Amino acid sequence: MKYFCIFYMTAAAIILLAISSCKNQRRDTIVSLGTKNGVLYFGNQTEPEDLDPHIVTGVPEFHILQSLFEGLVTPDPRDLHPLPGAAHSWDISEDNLVYTFHLRSEATWSNGEMVKASDFVFSFQRILSPRLGSEYAYMLYCIDNAEKYHKGALKDFARVGARAKDDTTLIIRLGSPTPYFMSLIMHDSWYPVHPPTILKFGNIDSRGTRWTRPENFTGNGAFKLADWQINKIINVVKRADYWDAQNVKLNGINFYPIENNQTEERMFRNDELHVTTNLPLQKIDWYKNNAPHLLHIDPYLGTYYYICNINRPPLNNKKLRKALALAIDRKSLTDDILKGGQIPAGSFTPPNTAGYLFDPVVTFDTIEARKILSETGFKSGDSLPPISVLYNTSESHHIIAQAIQQMWKRYLGINVTLVNQEWKVYLASKTKKEYDIARMGWIGDYNDPNSFLDLWLTGGGNNNTGWSSPTYDSLVKQASKSADQVERFRLFSQAESIFLDELPAIPIYFYTNVYLLKPSVKGWYSNILNMHNYKHLYLE
Amino acid sequence: MKKNGTYSRGTSLMRDALRRFVRNRLSVTGCIVLLFIITLCLAAPLLTPYTYDYQNLSSGATPPGAQHLLGTDILGRDLFTRILYGGRVSFAVGLCATLVSVLIGVAWGAIAGWYGGKTDTIMMRFVDIAYAFPFTIFVIILMVFFERSLLLLFIAIGAVEWLTMARIVRGQVMALRHQEFVDAAIGLGLRQHQILLRHILPNIIGPVIVYATLTIPAIMLLEAFLSYLGLGVQPPSSSWGILIREGTESMETYPWLLIFPAVVLSLTLFSLNFIGDGLRDALDPRSSRE
C-alpha cells in the first residue's frame, strides 16, 4: 500500500512538472529568459583549441577570451579607440619610445589578488619564451629586444624593454616608434596571466597545462569561467569583485560551439541564441526579404585566401601558383554564391585598411592563366603530382572549395582533391605543414596594414607556407620603424607587390561579417574588427 | 505423403524458396523497382547530357524544369545527374558494408551463442565495449592515422554495424540450442560446426535478412555523415546520403534538393524491405510446403 502511495505521488509530481514546464515554454523562450536574467546566448562556431591567451590563434577563442581577460587598455565599443582597462592612464615619451602605464590598484584577479605590473612583465616573458612556441609571439616584437629573446639570441629577459617599476607602474620601451602601438596592445597576446596559477601547473613555458580548466582558471576580466563542457558549452559569469562591476550589465554569457551554421541558424530562429557567428549561404536571401532587422552585414577587416605549401612540390612552382590564382573567378564566388556583399580580393590587405590602398593585381584571366601554366613545364593538368585542398569542416568552405575545384578543372585542366578536417586537426595539419593548399582566413588584429603584412615574415608564427623573402622582410621591418605614414604605406605596397608576385597565398575575397542578432541586444555596434567588448553590452 | 498413397516428388530447399518468393507480389515488385533504379544508375551517362560535376554558378539553384528535370543545386549542378551518379556510390557502399557486417556479426553472434559460458561472456563484453565507444571520435582517430580511402570507410562502418547483428544472432542461437532437433543432431554424432552451419544458421536466416535490409539504408545515411567529417566519398562525387544531407540544409529555400533524393532513397528502402520480407518467408525452413 505504502509503495502505491509513493508511486502515485511520483506520477503526480512528474505530470505536474510536465504541465508547468509546458506552460513555461509557452511564456518564455530561452532567449527571453536570458534577456530577463542578463545572460547572453552566443553562437560561437567551434570548440576552442584552448583558453590560454598566449596559445590560441582562432577567432572563436578570442570571442571567449575577451570576456575573461582585460588588457592594459580596452577597445571602445563604437570606434575601437583605446579606453582605460587594467591601466587607468598612460604617458608616452617625446620620442614615442617609452610608454608608462599606471595600473589600477583596485583591479584584481578572479581569485582576489591584485593585478600587478609584474604580472604583465611575467606574461610578456611567457609569450616570448621560445619553448612556449606561441604563434602570436611576434605581436610583441615591437618591444625592445623582444625578438632577440624570442629567437633565443638573448637569454636574459631583464634586457627586454618591459619593466615593473612598482606594483602599479609598468614601463614598456619600444625598439622603434610604433604608430599603432595602442591598438596593438588590445590584442589577446598582450593579455596578462596570473603567474602563481601558471607556475602551479607547470613552468612559465609549458603548453597545454590544466590551468585553463574551470576549477583552476584565473583571469582579470569582467567575467570568470564557470563551466566548460567540451563540445557543449562554455559559460562565463559576471565577477562581483571586478573593478568596474557596477557598469557591467550582463550577468553571464553562454558560448555554444556550433560548427554547423544550419544548426546555428535554426537555434537562432527557435529563440535559443541572441547572436550567431555566421549565416548559411542559402538563407541570406530569405533574411534580406523577410527579416532584414535580424540580418547584419558589417564590413569586416579580413581576407579569405588559400595558402600554398611552398616546401612541397608542385606548389613550390611559382608559375603554377600564379596560374591557379588567375583561374579563380572571384566575382562569381562573391556575387553568385556568397551574396553577402563580399569583395573579390585582388590583393592581400583589405582595401582602405587605416587608409592604405593597393591596386588589385590578382585578377581573373583564363587566357593568361593557361599561358603561364604552359610555361611551368607541366604539359597538362594530368602530369602534375596530386594536389589536395584542405579546409576545416564547414558548409560554406565546402561550397567554395567545390566551386574553385571546378574552376581549376575547367580552365586549367587541373584536378584537385578536397580534404576537410575537424577544426583542431585542421589547425595541427596546417602548423605541421601537412597540406598542399589550405583554406585560411585572416582577420586584422588591429587596424593597420602591418597586421596583414607582418604575417608573411620569414618564420612568422602564422606563416604556415614556408615562404620567405629577405627583401620582403626588410621592407616590412623598415615600414614598421618609420613614423611617417606616407613613407610607411609606400614601403608596405612595395612589400605587397613582392608578395603578390610570389603568391605563397592566393587571395580570394575580402570578408564581410554576415550574422544574425536579436534586437534585444543593446550596445552592440558594428566595427571592422568585430570586437564587442561585452562589458558594454546589455539586454532588454 | 498424399492421401491416395502416392509420394510427392522431393523438392530442394532452394527450389521451394524460389517458388514461394515468386508468388509474393510485393517482393517481386520490390525486385523490379530495385533493378530499375540500379539500371538507371548504371546507364547514367546515356540518360543525361550533364556530368555530375558540371557547374553553372550564375544560374545557382533552379527549380525543376525542362532544362533540368529535377532542378539544380546551389552551385548550378544538375540534380538528376547527381542522383544517378550518387546511386552508384550509395549502392556500392551499402551492399559491401552490409555484407561485411553480416559476415562478422553472424559469425561472432553464432559462436558466442553456441558455446555460451566464458566464451560468450568475453565475446559479448567486447561487443558492449565496442558499443560504448563514441563513433565520431573513432572516425576522427582513423582519419588522423590513416590515408583517407573508401576501404577505410568500409572498415569504419563495418566496425560498428556488426555489433547489433551479433547480438540478434546470439539471442537466436541461444534459443535454438536446446531445441529437440539440435539434440537429435548431437545424438546423431554431428560435429559442432556442422550443427551450426547446417541446422542452426538456416533457422536464423529470417531475422538476419530482415535486419540486413534495414542496415543498407542506415549505412547509406551513415556514409553521408562520414563524408561530412572528411572520411569517405569526397566532392565533387556525391552519394544519396550526401545529397540528402545537403538537401536538408536548404530545405526551406530549395525544397526540391531534399525531396527528390529522399524519394529515391525511400523507394530503394521500401524495395529492399519487401525483398527482405519475401526472402524471410521463402527461406524459413519451418514454413509449410503447402
Contact between A417 and B58 using a beta-carbon 8 Å cutoff? no
**Three-state SS across A35-69?**
HHHCEEEEECCCCCCCCCCCCCCCHHHHHHHHHHC
Read off the C-alpha cell for A373.
Answer: 601554366
A263 touches chain B (CB under 8 A): no
pLDDT band at residue A379 using 50, 70 and 90 as cut-offs: low
B155 touches chain A (CB under 8 A): no
Question: Among B74, B143, B236, whose Cβ lies nearest the Cβ of A406?
Answer: B236
What percent of chain A clears pLDDT 70, i.e. is strictly above it?
94
pLDDT in tens, A471-516: 999 999 888 878 788 888 999 999 999 999 999 999 999 999 999 9
Residues of A in Cβ contact (< 8 Å) with B227: none
Residue B186 Cα, gap to closest chain A Cα (Å): 50
pLDDT in tens, A167-221: 999 999 999 888 889 989 999 999 999 999 999 999 999 988 999 999 999 999 9
Which chain B residue shows the shortest CA-CA distance from A336?
B58
Question: Among B143, B234, B249, whose Cβ lies nearest the Cβ of A395?
Answer: B249
B290 has pLDDT over 60: no
pLDDT band at residue B80 using 50, 70 and 90 as cut-offs: very high
What part of B 34-53 touches A (C-beta under 8 Å)?
53
Residue B53 Cα, gap to closest chain A Cα (Å): 7
- What is the rounded distance in angstroms from the CA atom of residue A144 to the CA atom of residue A162? 8
Residues of B in Cβ contact (< 8 Å) with A401: 235
Question: Among B53, B75, B229, whose Cβ lies nearest the Cβ of A393?
Answer: B229
Residues of B in Cβ contact (< 8 Å) with A400: none
The pTM is what?
0.78
Torsion of CA B246, A429, A192, A83, to 10 degrees: -50
Residue A236 pairs in a beta bridge with A225, A253
Handedness of CA A74, A77, A81, A83 (dihedral sign): negative
Residue A411 Cα, gap to closest chain B Cα (Å): 13
pLDDT of residue B10: 62
- What is the rounded distance in angstroms from the CA atom of residue A322 to the CA atom of residue A375? 11
- What is the rounded distance in angstroms from the CA atom of residue A17 to the CA atom of residue B144? 46
Residue A431 Cα, gap to closest chain B Cα (Å): 15
B236 touches chain A (CB under 8 A): yes
pLDDT in tens, A115-147: 999 999 999 999 999 999 898 999 999 999 999
The DSSP line for A71-103 is -SEEE-TTT--EEESSEEEEEE-TTS-EEEEEE
The position carrying cell 604605406 is A489
Torsion of CA B82, B83, B84, B85, to 10 degrees: 50
Residues of A in Cβ contact (< 8 Å) with B61: 282
- What is the rounded distance in angstroms from the CA atom of residue A311 to the CA atom of residue A89? 47
pLDDT in tens, B250-260: 887 889 999 99
pLDDT band at residue B2 using 50, 70 and 90 as cut-offs: very low
Contact residues for A216 (Cβ-Cβ < 8 A; gap 6+): A197, A200, A201, A210
Kindly give the pairing relationship between strand A73-75 and strand A82-84: antiparallel
pLDDT band at residue B281 using 50, 70 and 90 as cut-offs: confident
Which chain A residue shows the shortest CA-CA distance from B140?
A422
Contact between A332 and B57 using a beta-carbon 8 Å cutoff? yes
Q: Output the average pLDDT for chain B.
A: 83
Give the type of residue at B233: V
Whether residue B151 contacts residue B92, with contact meaning beta carbons closer than 8 Å, is answered with no
Residues of A in Cβ contact (< 8 Å) with B140: 422, 425
Contact residues for A52 (Cβ-Cβ < 8 A; gap 6+): A193, A207, A208, A211, A212
pLDDT band at residue A108 using 50, 70 and 90 as cut-offs: very high
Residue A257 Cα, gap to closest chain B Cα (Å): 16
B249 touches chain A (CB under 8 A): yes
B270 has pLDDT over 70: yes
Which chain B residue shows the shortest CA-CA distance from A287?
B253
Question: Among A329, A336, A425, whose Cβ lies nearest the Cβ of B144?
Answer: A425
Average pLDDT over residues B66-78: 87
Question: Among A333, A399, A405, whose Cβ lies nearest the Cβ of B74?
Answer: A399
What part of B 52-91 touches A (C-beta under 8 Å)?
53, 55, 57-58, 60-61, 74-75
Contact residues for B207 (Cβ-Cβ < 8 A; gap 6+): B168, B169, B172, B280
- What is the rounded distance in angstroms from the CA atom of residue A375 to the CA atom of residue A321? 12
Whether residue A322 contacts residue A364, with contact meaning beta carbons closer than 8 Å, is answered with no
B19 has pLDDT over 90: no
B4 has pLDDT over 90: no
Q: Give the DSSP H or E segment for A188.
A: none
pLDDT in tens, B203-248: 888 888 878 887 887 888 788 777 766 677 777 888 888 888 888 8
Kindly give the pairing relationship between strand A416-421 and strand A387-392: parallel
pLDDT band at residue B1 using 50, 70 and 90 as cut-offs: very low
B143 touches chain A (CB under 8 A): yes
Average pLDDT over residues A332-359: 89
- What is the rounded distance in angstroms from the CA atom of residue B100 to the CA atom of residue B105? 8
pLDDT in tens, B119-133: 999 999 999 988 888
Residues of A in Cβ contact (< 8 Å) with B237: none
Tell me the three state secondary structure of residue A127.
helix
Question: Among A337, A402, A422, whose Cβ lies nearest the Cβ of B235?
Answer: A402
A375 touches chain B (CB under 8 A): no
Residues of B in Cβ contact (< 8 Å) with A329: 57
pLDDT of residue A27: 63
pLDDT band at residue A530 using 50, 70 and 90 as cut-offs: confident
* DSSP character at residue A15: H
* DSSP character at residue A281: G
Domain boundaries, chain B: 24-288
* Residue B146 CA, distance from chain mean position: 26
Contact between B75 and A286 using a beta-carbon 8 Å cutoff? no
Residue B128 Cα, gap to closest chain A Cα (Å): 24
- Looking at the domain that runs over B24-288, which CATH code has it been given? 1.10.3720.10
**Which of A406, A418, A425 would best serve as a mutation to test chain B binding (most B beta carbons within 10 A)?**
A406
